[in-house]
Amino acid sequence: MLFEDDYLAIIHKPAGILVSGNHFKTIANALIQNLKQSTLEDATQPQPVHRLDFPTTGILLVGKTSSSIRALNKLFEDRAIKKTYYAVTIGKMKPEGSITTEVDGKPCKSNYKVHQTVPSERFGYLNLVELEPFTGRRHQLRKHLSDLGNPILGDKDYGIESLILNGKGLYLHAYSLKFVHPFTKEEMYLKDDFTLNFKKIFNTLEVGEIN
C-alpha cells in the first residue's frame, strides 16, 4: 500500500496478475479484502481506474467511492494525471527522444530518456529508460520501443525472437503517478520502488537517484 484515504488508494501491482476481468485472481477482486472500507455515503466496491498489462509491475490508482471513480476517470480523460514508467530496453539508444508511430491505427506519443546503460554479452547493451506516455493505447510503450528497434527485455509479444528472455518476466515498471487529489486538492506524487529484477541489472540503482 502506497497511499489510502476514504476516496482512493494507490497500490503496488505485482507481475503476473490481471487488473480486472473474468478471472478469480485479479487485483479488482483482491481489493475488498486489502483496503479499508470508505466511511463516505457513496462508498462502493473499490475499482481500479486504469490498467496495467498482465506482466507489468508498478503503481495502480483505485477509486473507493462512486464520485471518486468518476472524478479519477475524468482526470485520466483530461490527461491531468502524469504517469511515468521505467523499462529495460535492448540495444544502443539515443539519450532521449519522442516516439510517434501509430498504435492500432491511431496517433499516439511517448517520450523517453535513457538514465543508465550497461554492456551485455548477450544483448549488446541494456538501458534503463524513463518513459512518459501522452496517450493510453493498448501496449503503447511496448509497441513504441519495438518500433524504435529497442524492445523491452522479456517482451515475448514485441521482442526480437532471438533475444527473447524466457522465465524472467517483462522489464516494464509503472514507477510514479502525479496529480491533484480531486477532493482534498492535495498535490499527489507517489512512487513505487523498482523491483528486484531491475536492481540486479543496474546494481547502483536507488530510487533517490531517479527524479
- Return d(Cα 65, Cα 181) in angstroms, integer: 14
Which residue type is seen at 18? L
Give the mean model confidence (pLDDT) for residues 62-80.
97
Largest pairwise CA distance in the chain:
58
pLDDT of residue 167: 66
Q: What's the confidence (pLDDT) of residue 125? A: 96
Q: What is the pLDDT of residue 207?
A: 44
For residues 45-55, average pLDDT = 95
Q: State whether residue 140 is helix, strand or coil.
A: helix
Half-sphere exposure of 153 (CA within 13 A, CB side): 22
Say yes or no to pLDDT of 177 above 90: yes
Share of the chain above pLDDT 70, in %: 94
Q: Which of 6, 53, 104, 155 is catalytic?
A: 53
Query: Would you give the distance in Å from CA 195 to the centre of its chain?
Result: 12
pLDDT category at 166 given cuts 50, 70, 90 is: low
- Look up cell 507489468; give the residue: 56
CA 135, CA 143: separation in Å to the nearest integer? 13
pLDDT for the residue numbered 208: 45
Residue 144 has pLDDT above 90, yes or no: yes
- The count of other CB atoms within 10 Å of the CB of residue 19 is 17
* pTM for the whole structure: 0.93
Residue 210 is predicted with a pLDDT of 55
Which pLDDT score, from 0 to 100, does residue 21 have?
84
> Kind and range of the H or E element at 63?
strand 57-65
Q: Based on the residue annotation, tell me whether 155 is a catalytic residue of this protein.
A: no
Instruction: Report, as an integer, the average pLDDT of 75-89.
Output: 96
- Give residue-wise pLDDT tens across range 12-36: 999 999 999 877 789 999 999 999 9
